[in-house]
Structure 1
Amino acid sequence: MYYSKKQLPTQKLAENLWSISEGSYSNGSPWSTEQFCVDLAQKTSEYLVLIKEGCWIGFVSYHFVLDEAEITHVVIHKEFQHKGYGNKLIDQLIQKLVEQEICQVFLEVRVSNTSAKKLYEKKGFKTIDHRKGYYSRPKEDGIVMCLKVKEVNQ
């Protein structure tokens, strides 16, 4: 079952998002619980959370401005990685973006995260830029990718 941020209490949601992030990223969550709380309060932020049989599997979050969006997180709990849940979340996200009439969506991914990059490419994202030293903990370059949502939907 997919839930949006409007369907879940903010503090509990922020704590669970942090917990999934903390256990999924090799260097811990890039955001604190407080940062998730602040982001959840933003009118331009959206969260799509995958919960199956009471278990929090993962989430995707994004910000939108007019007809564009930027993905801020795509996170799958370590226990559930490489089982197709990221694929399902991205499909659900694209469906939501189509409903919101978003034309294009951007994201950054670590150069070393080849499995995520392959997933994004499979979904139609194209590499458009390279950001030197974009990530910290550890310091690493980022790849900027873009999906033309309207092209995928046609």
Structure 2
Amino acid sequence: MNTTDKKFRRRAEARPDEVLDAALELFIEKGFASTRVEDIAKRAGLSKGTVYLYFPSKEALLEGLVRRVARLQSGRCRIWPSSKAIRACPSPCWCIRCKICSDPNNLAVPRLILREIMNFPAIAELYRREVLGKVIPALTALVARGVASGQLRKSIRK
């Protein structure tokens, strides 16, 4: 196999992420409803047909963005085992040594979901299940460990 074949294969494997990157940029700039698949293809440097090869619809692109954030978070986020997390990190999933939560593109996905929740409740449910369903239990465990170790005070409600 020559180097050209390797380069082509590597590019083909990267295309779904290139399409998702282009889609996210345009969804942020123009909004989901105003973005056309043709615009996404042009931004990604591909044909419209190639986009449909990887994602059968514009809604599938939105779903792909949610799944990518979920995959990144579950693969790389590490929850701090102390109260430093709550004090130090303003992002929705208190983590250390990862650029996932601080990446503006990843932070744009929840905002996009919130904007489109009324039109695409299935995508919002996917985000709740795939992202929040994993982050919230981790945060709950973090707080419980903090209370158990004495690093956090147990809230007293009256």
TM-score past 0.5 threshold: no
- Bigger CA radius of gyration: 2
TM-score by length of 1: 0.31
Structure with greater contact order relative to length (CA < 8 Å, sep ≥ 6):
2
Q: Which structure shows the higher helix fraction?
A: 2
Which protein is richer in strand relative to its size? 1
TM-score (ref. length: structure 2): 0.31
